[in-house]
Amino acid sequence: MMGSLRRLYAMMAMILGRPFGIRMHSCREVAQLLIDYIDGELTPAQRRSIDLHLMACPDCRHCAETYLQTQALTQEIRYEDIPAEFQRRLRSVLLEHLRASH
Amino acid sequence: MGAASAFNGRMLLFVSWTQGGEGSGTGSPPAPIIEARLSEAERTLLARLAARDEGALRSVLAEHQQRIYQLALKITGSAEDAEEVTQDTFIRLLDSLGQFEGRSSLGTWVYKLGLNLSLMRRRSLGRRPEQAWADPMEGFDDRGHHLNPVGRWRGAVLDTEREQTRRLVREAIAEMPADYHSVLVLADMEGRSRQEIAAMLELSVPAVKSRLHRARLMLRARLAKEFEE
């Protein structure tokens, strides 16, 4: 059932693109070009083709949305600050190293 | 609730490309670390350090220790390793003052020392996660269609204040294959430009871009197992 729906969406994308002379990308090509699409580095024709594909193909749309969500999560994840106790230990070790290298 | 949640279930692709450029979608980028030149203040600081001035050492630590510790923590995934790498970085700095030619800023030099030591430490940990990560470009049939349906993610998982989300994302990143992990950390976590990453990892800019894209796709696929509706 899901396979039939995906084929139907792909056909819709092909049909939608033809009157405008747009070559439709496959799902694999959309995945490959996603970083250029997000960075705004595609030609206007390529961008229109991908826009059209994303409108017609929920799998690629979800893939693109979650790609951006992955990027946002990665950027937002916070890591612990340097512990105060380690800062003291580090300073002590390095001062000792500095004095010893005289 | 973090900004990631703003992406929840919304079609934002049609506007996202207008953000453009490196690290698109983030706030102001960090100061570039490559190409920067040694300032007069840094030159003076290094001269004092070479003369074993303890105040100069305190200044260098105050300026750089936090950044090096966090970089080491992101690369190694362990607080204990991050502490050892941070200490080794500054010891290496003190021991190699005479070799520093001043062609970059002090910050660049320390950062590269810290990065190299972090990457060496991660390699020495001997993780073997590669076999668990599928090639993200293998999930398509002969005609290039998705082999399996791709779903949306549950809204709640996009909140980075949520402990479970934080843990899952950090664990997944920590397990990534080394070549992809380092590029992802530097680009999306440290906010470094692709030119900077290329210079630091001795790769071409297109290679950095290609690895970054694959790293994001791989991480997306891994997180989808936990986050899909």
Residue B174 shares a structural domain with residue B219: yes
Domain boundaries, position B80: 40-124
Residue with tokens 């750089």: B64
pLDDT, position B22: 40
CA A20, A25, A26, A31 torsion-angle sign:
negative
ipTM above 0.95, yes or no: no
**Could you tell me if B143 lies within 8 Å of chain A, comparing CB atoms?**
yes
> Of the residues B124, B152, B179, which one is the last residue of a structural domain?
B124
| Residue B35, helix vs strand vs coil | coil
Interface of B with A in 74-93 (CB under 8 A): 74, 79, 83, 86-87, 90-91
User: Which domain-ending residue is among B96, B124, B152?
Assistant: B124
Does A67 contact chain B (CB < 8 Å)? yes
Query: Tens of pLDDT along A4-57?
Result: 666 666 666 556 655 555 667 899 999 999 999 999 999 999 999 999 999 999
The answer to the question of residue B32 being in a domain is: no
Q: Which of B54, B166, B216 sits opposite A98 (nearest CB)?
A: B54
Residues of chain A contacting residue B136, judged by C-beta atoms under 8 Å apart: 31
**How high is the pLDDT of residue A102?**
64
B223 in the same domain as B134:
yes
Closest of B81, B28, B129, B120 to residue A79, by C-alpha: B81
Say yes or no: B80 and B141 in one domain. no
Question: Do B135 and B221 belong to one domain?
Answer: yes
Q: Does A69 touch chain B (CB under 8 A)?
A: yes
Phi-psi region of B77 (alpha: psi -120 to 50; beta: other; left: phi over 0): left
Q: Does B127 touch chain A (CB under 8 A)?
A: no
Q: Can you give the pTM of this predicted structure?
A: 0.83
Highest mean pLDDT among B9-13, B160-164, B180-184: B180-184
Q: B15 in a domain, yes or no?
A: no
Identify whether B135 is part of a domain: yes
CATH number for the domain spanning B195: value is 1.10.10.10
- Are B52 and A37 in contact (CB < 8 Å)? no
Residues B138 and B117 in one domain: no
**Closest among B125, B40, B120 to B85, alpha carbons compared:** B120
The yes-or-no verdict on residue B103 having pLDDT over 90 is no
Beta-carbon separation of B25 and A68 below 8 A: yes
Does residue B194 belong to any structural domain of this protein? yes
Last residue of a domain, one of B92, B124, B156: B124
Residue B123 clears pLDDT 50, i.e. is over it: yes
**In chain A, whose CA is at the least distance from the CA of B66?**
A82
Chain B residues touching residue A28 (CB < 8 angstroms): 137, 140, 144-145
Flag whether pLDDT at B20 surpasses 50. no
pLDDT in tens, B185-209: 999 999 999 999 999 999 999 999 9
